[in-house]
Structure 1
């Protein structure tokens, strides 16, 4: 470690920033410290048998020079001026572009995941990188700057969830290019397209509406505001195009979002946090930088805001104005008590994930539900030989269908479990559309993939019989949604089961739906930890009528975030929560007059 200011001046900016973070000279969050510690550790082991990469300062300096000699700000107080990279940017960019393979000189990192709060020049940075991908990106062996290999027909994709957002980075790149003579002499920049003057290719905006998303061979992919993406479709399609170029790079950049239970960005965030923490193996080709408030930080403490807003460390007009704006938005949100404004401030200004606010049934209590799970073997022992109510949600027999079971325990708790069924021939399609691992769940016994293109009701009947024979379950009633299940009910009635039709109106479903949530809050429910059931529960949205009655639904009619397993359990709960006297008086649930 350098011992004097002179020594510090001799240290490359990328290494110096990492050392300042790790030693506490700069304020930072846990994830940033882990990322910087990773960099310093890699320096110690570079060019070894187990780590065939080296940090090439000339490659890092090349990206610095690109920004500071060719790229100009397109908005704000510095509009028109050449960009001067902040220390945190030199760490991020230096790491991504400075690490190369010791022999080939190809870039080490294939993907970069970067999260920081709004206002920290993400769009400006991405626009400059998009232009670099068109003009200056190249491969050359370390120590041999005289040889450079550029890509013919470079392809740079500015991807976002919709056209407007995709054009934000693309439009900034267009304006940035127009302001630079160095860039203009290399690119043709027109109103509707950007291409290299001699090597062709394209720099284009891309969204889910873009045709031929999977027809390219991208050099650089920028995925902007990944938190807004409802699925990983764009990410997956573009990443599948890698391998056709010398050193393709995907740059994922985002703030936190408000759908912490289902967002592909949150799933990526969770995985990268685990990677930096050492909980899962390190991917040596994946750069990660997450700047956020730490757990336990007081969001009202202005001194911690810099953790998510590294640009606040800069002593300039922009940083001062950003701080004033963050403070103003904070005061407005908390002084008015406006929940929507508070959530917006927490996600955008201090980079903290929030649960989905769109009437999520289990909003804020999914962690409590997960804690109530016990090992499957222990669950089966708990309910062995017990009486239960079976709930059915048969829906379309080409999609997911479900059988749920509810047990009343002697101590006043309820035990619940559910099993899914899906046609084997459609499982792959649904894995892509639903973004969940049905085949892996089937292998672990949480669902069954039935042969063919549809799920025959006989598989569900067999599952009920199997549980009766193997576990001694005593099915008191079969509670079914009449839509698509009348024949199933007739067949089971003929075999001696008591089948109860559960109409799907709010007057029937509201009380058991509210009761289920109360049981979770009171920790009076136990389940077997099924990831499929947990996924369905996290997807459920509650619809409220004018009388305060609720029922569960998906966000949208054709949504792939399915709720079938919890719907089956709620059907069973309709009867399970009744007293013995109420059950005798009301053998069948009649049709509701109310409908949404």
Structure 2
């Protein structure tokens, strides 16, 4: 069979269930068949299908030889799954100018499924067969990630007799003699991002490792002058839903979904993952995330070994789910609260008028974020919120460094800027008093960290508030931090124990929070271990240290304060 016949047979097996696949894999197959039929049978289609290019790519890939393992020395044989991807990427062309239809590619599948080797063939194919000088940049967040694909390119073309003498390697890049094309590894770690390099192909491996979209954005913005640019991402799932890869995953999932109105003719995507509810112990499901590894016995044995380790050592399960089953898990290592649990507590509004409240502050550094947190005991549990402050002169720098829309959050009312280069604590003090008076609140206790906040606390006492120190060590914070988390974990569609109004700053801070554990299993939130700022949730925990001792009188529903000394 030729390449296209193999691809059609593979698609037929997927849709008939002869080969097990997840729903998003099936959606990608259906999209391909629909697009191919449109090219062939619809004269109005803006695209045509060039079958010969698919054959060229296949025979070019045969020039690559395995360089290690039991297949060392043998020609690489692309699988039907890889051929499906290649004909989508290279065979759909625009009628108006003959350039490739797809400008962006997103592929998500489990590890060990020949990702780096396939990316190497893609990069080499464009570099050697391109009509003009091609600039292929391999982008990893860390140097070793970009080097892995670069080395795969170098080893692959070194193994080809056809390409012998047609290229050289110098100064950390590969250069093709015929057209001057180059293949260059980039990384954020070495401060090399390809800015201003006029890239034609950007290859991003393991995008889930990228803390921001900086490298991706720089490469894409540099492609505007290219006739047929290609941004190519292959990744496994990750465990931090705040990272740009998950945003991209969510977007391309909508492109694939035939029932979603989102369409993008420039974007090819395919996702191989377990479906919701699939049993990870059922070996027949493994091929859904492992379209290559799960087709041979050695690969299956590797997955069996990974699963056994994950079942024996629960701490390994998160890695197994993301890397081997390709499922996004919304909990980072040591992460305090999963995003899904926090979102479950969101409500539209909360009437705080006249209520009892506990207020906490996290003054932090004067040049950084300063936050107030408040906790309202309720008949169902607690309602929480925050308001934060940042010095006006630090806003631009902090927005660029933290990669979050502080200006938008200010506009939406979740935080304020204070005049000058440092946070004006008198401004914070006035906001707190206005918040209390405007809502006619009964402040039970004002809670503060004595380190660096003694004068501020004295000022609040002068306003008539009862203030109490809350030291930030394990003995004070561990039980409240655990208890607050336990309440959040009880949130579901039918019952909410901790509510909030969807405050974006607070949700961001909760997602950033990392719990530090002591030898005796005491925990507290750690600013040093958390990747981003956690001041808003830290202020709430400070208030919760005391608010947890409030009880609701079931007869009248009023809040009664019980001192910690009364327990």
Normalized against structure 1, the TM-score is what?
0.84
SS in 2 for 1:182: coil
CA displacement at 1:390 relative to structure 2: 1.3
- Residue of structure 1 equivalent to 2:441: 473
- Residue of structure 1 equivalent to 2:470: 502
Equivalent position to 1:66, from 46, 60, 65: 60
Give the alignment of 1:294-305 within 5 angstroms. Answer: 294-305=275-286
1:100 pairs with 2:80? no
2:186, 2:192 within 8 Å by CA — same for their partners in 1? no
CA–CA distance in structure 2, aligned partners of residues 467 and 408 of structure 1: 17
1:160, 1:223 within 8 Å by CA — same for their partners in 2? yes
Cα 1:252–1:452 change in 2 (3 A) is: farther
Equivalent position to 1:400, from 369, 388, 413: 369
Cα 1:469–1:191 change in 2 (3 A) is: closer
Deviates more, 1:286-295 or 1:520-529: 520-529
CA displacement at 1:11 relative to structure 2: 5.7
- Residue of structure 2 equivalent to 1:358: 333
Deviates more, 1:523-532 or 1:423-432: 423-432
- Residue of structure 2 equivalent to 1:391: 360
CA displacement at 1:451 relative to structure 2: 5.0
Cα 1:11–1:419 change in 2 (3 A) is: same
Equivalent position to 1:574, from 541, 545, 551: 545
1:38 pairs with 2:15? no
1:492 pairs with 2:460? yes
SS in 2 for 1:288: strand
- Residue of structure 2 equivalent to 1:281: 262
CA–CA distance in structure 2, aligned partners of residues 393 and 160 of structure 1: 36
1:21 pairs with 2:14? yes
1:220, 1:249 within 8 Å by CA — same for their partners in 2? yes
Cα 1:50–1:506 change in 2 (3 A) is: farther
CA displacement at 1:92 relative to structure 2: 0.7
SS in 2 for 1:310: coil
Cα 1:453–1:56 change in 2 (3 A) is: farther
Equivalent position to 2:240, from 231, 254, 260: 260
CA–CA distance in structure 2, aligned partners of residues 24 and 207 of structure 1: 41
CA displacement at 1:111 relative to structure 2: 1.8
CA–CA distance in structure 2, aligned partners of residues 401 and 280 of structure 1: 41
Cα 1:490–1:561 change in 2 (3 A) is: same
- Residue of structure 2 equivalent to 1:144: none
2:3, 2:58 within 8 Å by CA — same for their partners in 1? no
CA–CA distance in structure 1, aligned partners of residues 343 and 153 of structure 2: 45
SS in 1 for 2:78: coil
CA–CA distance in structure 2, aligned partners of residues 305 and 562 of structure 1: 38
Give the alignment of 1:160-239 within 5 angstroms. Answer: 160-189=140-169, 192-213=172-193, 214-239=195-220
TM-superposition CA deviations, 1:269-296 (whole Å, max 9, x none): 2332233235562232221111011111
1:345 pairs with 2:345? no
Deviates more, 1:416-425 or 1:174-183: 416-425
1:74, 1:172 within 8 Å by CA — same for their partners in 2? no
SS in 2 for 1:184: coil
Normalized against structure 2, the TM-score is what?
0.88
Unaligned runs of 5+ in 1: 1-7, 138-149, 587-596
Cα 1:280–1:530 change in 2 (3 A) is: farther
Deviates more, 1:22-31 or 1:446-455: 446-455
Cα 1:151–1:10 change in 2 (3 A) is: closer
CA displacement at 1:227 relative to structure 2: 2.4
CA–CA distance in structure 1, aligned partners of residues 99 and 282 of structure 2: 44
CA displacement at 1:221 relative to structure 2: 1.5
2:108, 2:271 within 8 Å by CA — same for their partners in 1? yes
